[in-house]
Chains A and B, each alone.
Chain A
Amino acid sequence: MTFNKLEKKDLNNLFLRTIPMEASFNYERMMSLAFSYSMYNIIEKLYPNKEDQIEAAKRHLEFFNCTSATSPIVAGTIAALEEKKASDPTFDTNTINSVKISLMGPLSGVGDSIFWGSLKVIATGIGIALTVKGNILGPILFLLLYNIPNLLVRYFGTFWGYKLGTSLSENIDHSVVSNITFIMNVLGTVVIGGMVATMISINISVGIGGFEGETIQSFIDSFMPAFLPLVATFLIRYLLKKKVKVSYILLSILVISVLGAMFGFLA
């Protein structure tokens, strides 16, 4: 079977398409629109068949969140795995999903601490120090100090990712382990478990009669912190399995939140 291999120009295009990564951020699936936008050309090139294109596009409209500067690494890796899938239809797409999820956590953590935590603070510090004297070099140095590393990591990250993805898929090829997908799922599932406890927060601010300063939330927290995010996630998963439209779920959350703020039972 012949298939289109990805070339350097495809990866250059992927790099360009990851530049607007943060511009359509939202709270439901964070950067999923941006990720699906960045993968478009890759999908179109790799899959001649419409059905396969639809499957791949669906995969990349799922939740995605990563530091903007390090997300091209994820995109490069996924491009290599999509290439693998195109050449080998028996390749389990769950591996693609799991690898994507597994990379988000560490790359966000490292990316945030390097770009937001260090680089931006250093660049701003130098910039502000110069502006106090009215020096125009302040803003210019600020932009250069931040954006030169930003662009370099984005550009080379796309290619690092692609290399990583290629070596991953080659190992999957030569491994006697038929359960590599399961192993990647293990990693992805651990990360999702962590994200559920990190990124969702629900706070019931109703007091408990007779207990001064105690709320239902402090009671829940005392036996299991992040219990409500866990319940919410699995409740929504159940509703999705029951084919409830995601728009209705979104709307219900909005209504409950506004009512919660209005009557003071959520904070």
Chain B
Amino acid sequence: MDINIGHILAIFIVALIANSQDFLGASFIGRPLVTGPIIGLIFGNVTQGIIIGGQLELIFLGLVGVGATVPPDEIMGGIIATALTILSGYDIEVALTIAFPVATLGLVIKNFLYVVVFPAMTHKADSLVEMGEIKKAANMHLKASFTRIILMSISTVLVFILGTNTIDAVLNIIPQAFIDGMSIAANILPAIGFAMLLNMIFKINTAPFFLIGFLAVAYLNLDLVAVSIIGVAFAGIMYVIIEEINSKQQVKFDKDGEFDDF
């Protein structure tokens, strides 16, 4: 199997477009189902590209993230597995065995972005806002997005050049504790976001309502839609109570009532 510069360039361009799927409206343009035929076209076997893409899609369809965890990276897995399989003339079964370790490597890189790099960029945006650099802070989103697209595309090209044997080697070099630690941290980090939200709106007189939402999930295993409806119910109850209190203080509110009429 010979890889030439044209192949490398083509893989890079496909990877750039595919990794833009979240940037372009979470449009799924990077799914194996879509990249398969394109890779097939580039490497001279569209039909096989379509078929491999469809098979890989079936595999990745089942790998859905549970809770806050992100599933293996189907974009990198799909591109590499399709390309190497067509180039080497392997059977489709080989594509499936290539896809998984590649997608796992993709996940490790993505997790690093989600756990370390992007939170750091968010803190940078915080301090930019503090200094009045509103526009720069807003554009931090673009910086983060392009960092991800370019990093993932370069990684895809590297894996393509080095071949799949090296993926296992790379995964072996990265200490398992680091990989596991990233996924553990991924599940704890949202606590920072919630703590900040609570700092904004939590007051001691709304503490019981926090507990209601918390307990509804922790003990009753309700989902967030149900919790929100419970929230609406309690907001309604509070509304009725406050209305009641206000109507008893009608004298006091008569002045305000005038404004209400026009």
Are A and B a genuine interacting pair, yes or no? Answer: yes
The reply to whether A23 and B141 form a contact with Cβ atoms under 8 Å apart is yes
Asked whether A118 is an interface residue with its Cβ less than 8 Å from the other chain, the reply is no
Which of B4-12, B96-104, B125-133, B165-173 is near enough to bind chain A?
B125-133
Among the listed B34, B196, B230, which residue makes an inter-chain contact with A190, where contact means beta carbons less than 8 Å apart? B230
The reply to whether B25 and A36 form a contact with Cβ atoms under 8 Å apart is no
The reply to whether A22 and B22 form a contact with Cβ atoms under 8 Å apart is yes
The reply to whether B138 and A40 form a contact with Cβ atoms under 8 Å apart is yes
For residue B232, which residues in chain A have a CB less than 8 angstroms away from its CB?
A: 187
Asked whether A211 is an interface residue with its Cβ less than 8 Å from the other chain, the reply is no
Asked whether A9 is an interface residue with its Cβ less than 8 Å from the other chain, the reply is no
> In the complex, which residues 196-237 of chain A have their Cβ closer than 8 Å to any Cβ of chain B?
196-203, 224-227, 229-230, 232-234, 236-237
Asked whether B63 is an interface residue with its Cβ less than 8 Å from the other chain, the reply is no
Number of residues of chain B lying within 8 A (CB) of chain A: 118
Task: Tell me the smallest distance from the CB of A234 to a CB of chain B, in Å.
Answer: 7
Mask for B47-64, Cβ within 8 A of A = 1, else 0? 110110110011001001
Q: Decide if the interface of chain B is mainly helix, strand, loop or mixed.
A: helix
Which of B83-91, B111-119, B156-164 is near enough to bind chain A?
B111-119
The reply to whether A27 and B122 form a contact with Cβ atoms under 8 Å apart is no
User: A247 and B120 in contact (CB under 8 A), knowing A61-B129, A176-B257?
Assistant: yes
For residue B148, which residues in chain A have a CB less than 8 angstroms away from its CB?
A: 23-24
User: A176 and B253 in contact (CB under 8 A), knowing A20-B23, A22-B22, A108-B224?
Assistant: yes
User: A185 and B206 in contact (CB under 8 A), knowing A27-B114, A176-B256?
Assistant: yes
**How many angstroms from the CA of A121 to the CA of B57 in the assembled complex?**
11
Max count, chain B CB within 10 A of own CB: residue among A68, A136, A154: A136
The reply to whether A138 and B54 form a contact with Cβ atoms under 8 Å apart is yes
Asked whether A8 is an interface residue with its Cβ less than 8 Å from the other chain, the reply is no
For residue B61, which residues in chain A have a CB less than 8 angstroms away from its CB?
A: 121, 124
**How many angstroms from the CA of A102 to the CA of B206 in the assembled complex?**
14
For residue A198, which residues in chain B have a CB less than 8 angstroms away from its CB?
A: 67, 217, 223-224
For residue B214, which residues in chain A have a CB less than 8 angstroms away from its CB?
A: 193-194, 196-197, 226, 230
Q: Decide if the interface of chain A is mainly helix, strand, loop or mixed.
A: helix
* Number of chain A interface residues as a range: 35 or more
For residue A128, which residues in chain B have a CB less than 8 angstroms away from its CB?
A: 33, 54, 57-58
The reply to whether A233 and B145 form a contact with Cβ atoms under 8 Å apart is no
The reply to whether B224 and A134 form a contact with Cβ atoms under 8 Å apart is no
User: A57 and B134 in contact (CB under 8 A), knowing A23-B22, A33-B140, A189-B201?
Assistant: yes
For residue B193, which residues in chain A have a CB less than 8 angstroms away from its CB?
A: 28-30, 32, 62-63
User: A191 and B114 in contact (CB under 8 A), knowing A106-B225, A196-B194?
Assistant: no
Task: Tell me the smallest distance from the CB of B129 to a CB of chain A, in Å.
Answer: 5
Asked whether A147 is an interface residue with its Cβ less than 8 Å from the other chain, the reply is yes
The reply to whether A254 and B181 form a contact with Cβ atoms under 8 Å apart is yes
The reply to whether A186 and B242 form a contact with Cβ atoms under 8 Å apart is no
For residue B129, which residues in chain A have a CB less than 8 angstroms away from its CB?
A: 54, 57-58, 61
For residue A25, which residues in chain B have a CB less than 8 angstroms away from its CB?
A: 22, 114, 118
For residue A62, which residues in chain B have a CB less than 8 angstroms away from its CB?
A: 193, 196-197, 200
The reply to whether A183 and B224 form a contact with Cβ atoms under 8 Å apart is no
For residue A108, which residues in chain B have a CB less than 8 angstroms away from its CB?
A: 224
The reply to whether B141 and A54 form a contact with Cβ atoms under 8 Å apart is no
Minimum CB distance partner of B137 in chain A:
A57
**6 additional contacts (CB under 8 A) given A185-B201, A257-B181:** A178-B246, A185-B206, A199-B68, A227-B218, A254-B115, A261-B178
Would you list the 8 A-B pairs with minimal beta carbon distance, nearest first? A193-B213, A131-B54, A258-B181, A63-B193, A190-B231, A194-B227, A26-B118, A109-B225
Pull 12 A–B residue pairs with CB atoms less than 8 Å apart, ordered by A. Answer: A20-B142, A24-B121, A26-B189, A36-B141, A105-B227, A138-B54, A182-B242, A192-B201, A193-B210, A202-B187, A226-B217, A246-B123
Which residues of A approach B to under 8 Å, CB–CB?
A: 19-30, 32-34, 36-37, 39-40, 43-44, 50, 53-54, 57-58, 61-63, 68-69, 94, 97-98, 101-102, 105-106, 108-110, 116, 120-121, 124, 127-128, 131-132, 134-136, 138-139, 142-143, 146-147, 150-151, 154, 174, 176-179, 182-203, 224-227, 229-230, 232-234, 236-237, 239-241, 246-247, 249-250, 253-254, 257-262, 266-267
